[in-house]
Amino acid sequence: MREIIFDTETTGFDPLTGDRMVEIGCIEMVGRIMTGESYHAYFNPQRPMPAAAEQVHGLSDRFLSDKPLFAHKAEELLAFLGDSPLVAHNASFDFGFLNNELQQCGLAPISMDRMVDTVALARIKHPGAKLSLDALCTRYGIDRSHRVKHGALLDAELLAQLYIELTGGRQIGLGLVDDGSAGRDSSGGGTRDLVRTRLFREPRPHSASPEELARHSEFIAKIKDALWLESESAL
């Protein structure tokens, strides 16, 4: 199954009060294996960046000033998302911003039925524990030493590793991929229209040949006082 792990960065906490999404990072997974396909974009929010938000993600007004509007990238983003389930940490926050941006463009919001929230998964698995992305990465030994500030694509990559752990662990991918071509189509277009194909192999023979059966009978005939003969005579 294809799934998209994603994260957003914003100007604040509430799109209903005018806050906007300024970055989105998406990681594609097929069968809980990261395929290497991703989508990443910055957006001009058309409003000043609050100092508190900039301290979190480091995205300044100057940096975002020449970035495209969300409306100019919306169709491209939707094409990448397809109809796959969307996985996020505290997913209602990210869905709220994403759907607000889509609605401002006159596009239909993404159904909440597609939402998978890793906070909810972690709460079931670790009741009472800290559920932040940092805390859960520490719990599962996921390296985040290169994470100086929040970044949508980096956080999505960390979340993808966490999602694997929350849904079965790294071992779930063992033995599922035959070679480096698995998970990609032959045209190099990624896995969005993936149809996995495998070479047909003739089944190996598992029964003895007539010659082998004859040699076995000759060998058995040479054995004296065989235990199985005693068992047959006692029946």
Question: How far apart are the two ends of the chain, measured CA to CA in Å?
Answer: 56
Looking at 89, 150, 206, 216, which residue is catalytic? 150
Cα distance between residue 61 and residue 191, in whole Å: 35
Is residue 150 part of the annotated active site? The answer reads yes
Residue corresponding to tokens 């009060």: 17
Token digits for 164? 């694997």
Task: Report helix, strand or coil for 216.
Answer: helix
Please report the sign of the dihedral spanned by the C-alpha atoms of residue 8, residue 145, residue 175, residue 189. Answer: positive
Alpha helices in 82-235 (DSSP H): 91-104, 118-125, 133-139, 152-166, 210-221, 227-234
Q: Which residues are catalytic?
A: 150
